[in-house]
Structure 1
């Protein structure tokens, strides 16, 4: 059997096994990577559904008794309106006493939508035209009207406290009397507090860095601060916030940090029943890639280890397969004694060369005279050795570009491809000369014994 053939077969099997193993390993790694991404996305969807669901729950709960609160706020607003008609000088009003009597904060907004008087001192001087353009336009509409209006759950612009607000225009349309009721102290809010859900999700889910709920003007709901400006979304995020609020479609922004990426996902929220300005919100979930990178790094190391094991196994298996199948494959097209091609291989090769366009071939048949005498006088062992010597001689003379085969006991065929007739004659003469030289020893012995 040709060692060269087995070597080629082994190399081919190794390359095929390596490529197949690498392809399977890479596809498996990509599949695993996708599953990790899906797993993280599911966590985020769960957090999103939970916070949105909590917001919807509290909106529905407040909707149930919202009108009861609104009736009380309307009653107080009309009492304050009557007080204004009796005494339009707000400077003389005792706002602290009114707050104690009603259990609500009172705000007086002038025609410029600026808080001029209030029981809540930090809000005096707040200009809604500067901070909240869309809300300021709504305040203009309400001040020009004549009816009582109220919003759902909203937040105090400075402190971040969650409140319910109502509005009553004065008959001269110069002012808006606003009432603010703190909802955080209400038992129902404590039972359905979405801020607790936010803290719970942030602590439980490692990939989430922060969850914030913004009202229609971009203020963070539930975050308390002495500086109201710190509570409002700004910079590069405000444009996305505004787009999400207007389009009703979620958006994401990726921010690169020294220790990884932060993804800001902005999700629009609208209560099932819109009540005023405050039931339109945007939920922002900020999540990191720390866990994802850690898991991917771990799986990457496992992938490399598994790949090396698979590659080593593939190489070893290739050697084993090559040794098992090389010989039968080789013998299917080769003569087992001489190593030359057999009759099947010869017919196949001749057909291929004849089918080539404008291809010319020469056939040469070689037969050993008195070969039977060698077997009879010297034995089949010497006869086999003689055939091997002749086969080797034929291969050396015709060269690697031509084709030689053993098709019978002492019969050999040679295909010479596209060679001039003069060259064919030279090859024939060289073959006769070399073969006669190689078998002269056998001729001498046979002549002596015969």
Structure 2
């Protein structure tokens, strides 16, 4: 009974714990995946929104800035005519020209260096030194001799968003560059990607920063008087160039003082390319530690829940095992003696026969047991049966199987077919039972003993055949005077 309860408890515990653990782990994995998916969704949303705004504003300017481009071309032609009349730029009043046309004016020499400008901060800016790609484009424009204009770009020294145009002089020595501030224009205000960036940073805690770089690595929308501050950091320069050339997204994980950040660099090209201004890279930095902290919190909750589940499962398993163990035990055992019943005994024998194991069967009967029940009553008879069951348990070796299969009929399956071993077991069994009953017999004046019939199994012998042989041997013991054993021959 105790063994059944322990085995049942162990099985229930193992199954319940495994099931609870699997369910808890699956729930945690789903929760973790949901957090990661939400993180990715936020980043994708921010990425799509920025790209959409850039695309929209480029398309809008492509459709509606023709008037601005036409105005810039007209001013460029006027300045070109002025150059034909007065080729010495040192005599030009660039501040007066800026006020007249409401445009910044730049003069670039044949080395693509700004030598004169109404925007004094840019005088000395060397495009060949800082921006080789743009410098090569300017060389081609100088040779082509036509008016060209770009999309929105930034003033490198200030970070202001502007539109630039270029017109070469007739002698191809210089480029007349014009710049118009766009940030105060109505179109820019309606599709302001800088405001979009600010709103995304406020809405999503996981996003640390969003930057839009032009082809030269300058950040659009950052106001600064320091040209280097507005430039992409050296540590990101390689990945920036790789993304700009390959047009494929790249990620870089950086550990900084405030945690581990992942920088995602996304290439962007406008539908209609105009110079280098419409070739950009969007960089979104998001906080890995924030997600890790959320997952750690969920993991702690998962462990606490698992502990509670384990405690509950252990308690429930103990209760169920205690309730169910007794009916299970009674289904396979004799309620009076605690030995196996006939059904359980036959099932075990069949298993051993199927495994072709050699064994012997002992059939035991209490001699004159009916006189005990008739003379002393069934209560005393039950005591004798229990005493004999105890005798069996004390005598048989581990692995032997004992059963009560009738009123005073018992069977013992011996895991051995050696005749001497079986004889020894039968002899000890008779002797010990007689010793146990000696005082009882003297007091009551009624005697009982045991007779045993033994059958040694042969190859492929069924239980019914072995049982029949043991029964015949038992009958022989009875006929020869009882209180003895006989072996079927």
Cα distance, 1:419 vs. partner? 5.2
Matched position secondary structure for 1:107: strand
Q: How does 1:375-414 map to 2 (within 5 A)?
A: 375-414=373-412
Q: In the aligned structure 1, how far is the partner of 2:315 from the partner of 2:43?
A: 45
Q: In the aligned structure 2, how far is the partner of 1:250 from the partner of 1:68?
A: 36
Alignment match, 1:184? 183
- TM-score, normalised via structure 2 length: 0.87
Worse overlay, 284-293 or 94-103: 284-293
Q: In the aligned structure 2, how far is the partner of 1:448 from the partner of 1:195?
A: 111
Alignment match, 1:424? 422
Matched position secondary structure for 1:272: coil
Q: In the aligned structure 1, how far is the partner of 2:438 from the partner of 2:133?
A: 114
| Number of matched pairs | 448
Residues 255-285 of structure 1, C-alpha deviations (whole Å, 9 max, x = no match): 1234432111112222233233211211111
Cα distance, 1:191 vs. partner? 2.5
| Contact 1:211–1:284, Cα closer than 8 Å, also in 2 | yes
Alignment match, 1:348? 347
Alignment match, 1:91? 90
Residues 174-212 of structure 1, C-alpha deviations (whole Å, 9 max, x = no match): 222111111112122223211111112112221111111
Matched position secondary structure for 2:217: coil
Cα distance, 1:447 vs. partner? 4.0
Alignment match, 2:275? 276
| Contact 1:373–1:446, Cα closer than 8 Å, also in 2 | no
Residues 367-405 of structure 1, C-alpha deviations (whole Å, 9 max, x = no match): 111112222122212222222221121122112222212
Q: In the aligned structure 2, how far is the partner of 1:237 from the partner of 1:115?
A: 28
| Contact 1:208–1:285, Cα closer than 8 Å, also in 2 | yes
Cα distance, 1:31 vs. partner? 1.0
| Contact 1:377–1:446, Cα closer than 8 Å, also in 2 | no
Q: In the aligned structure 1, how far is the partner of 2:138 from the partner of 2:416?
A: 100
Alignment match, 1:433? 431
Change (3 A) 1:373 1:129: farther
| Contact 2:416–2:422, Cα closer than 8 Å, also in 1 | no
| Contact 1:143–1:169, Cα closer than 8 Å, also in 2 | yes
Q: In the aligned structure 1, how far is the partner of 2:418 from the partner of 2:234?
A: 86
Residues 212-244 of structure 1, C-alpha deviations (whole Å, 9 max, x = no match): 111112110011212212211132312222222
| Contact 2:217–2:231, Cα closer than 8 Å, also in 1 | yes
Gaps of 5+ in 2: 449-489
Matched position secondary structure for 1:336: coil
Q: In the aligned structure 2, how far is the partner of 1:9 from the partner of 1:342?
A: 20
Alignment match, 2:313? 314
Q: In the aligned structure 2, how far is the partner of 1:390 from the partner of 1:420?
A: 25
Matched position secondary structure for 1:98: helix
Change (3 A) 1:331 1:289: same
Q: Based on CA coordinates, which of the two structures has the bigger radius of gyration?
A: 2
Alignment match, 1:193? 192
Q: In the aligned structure 2, how far is the partner of 1:364 from the partner of 1:411?
A: 11
Alignment match, 2:455? none
Alignment match, 1:147? 146
Q: In the aligned structure 1, how far is the partner of 2:195 from the partner of 2:177?
A: 29
Task: Select the structure with the greater relative contact order (CA < 8 A; seq sep ≥ 6).
Answer: 1
Gaps of 5+ in 1: none
Q: In the aligned structure 2, how far is the partner of 1:334 from the partner of 1:449?
A: 28
Residues 75-115 of structure 1, C-alpha deviations (whole Å, 9 max, x = no match): 11122222222232222222112111111111122222221
Change (3 A) 1:259 1:73: closer
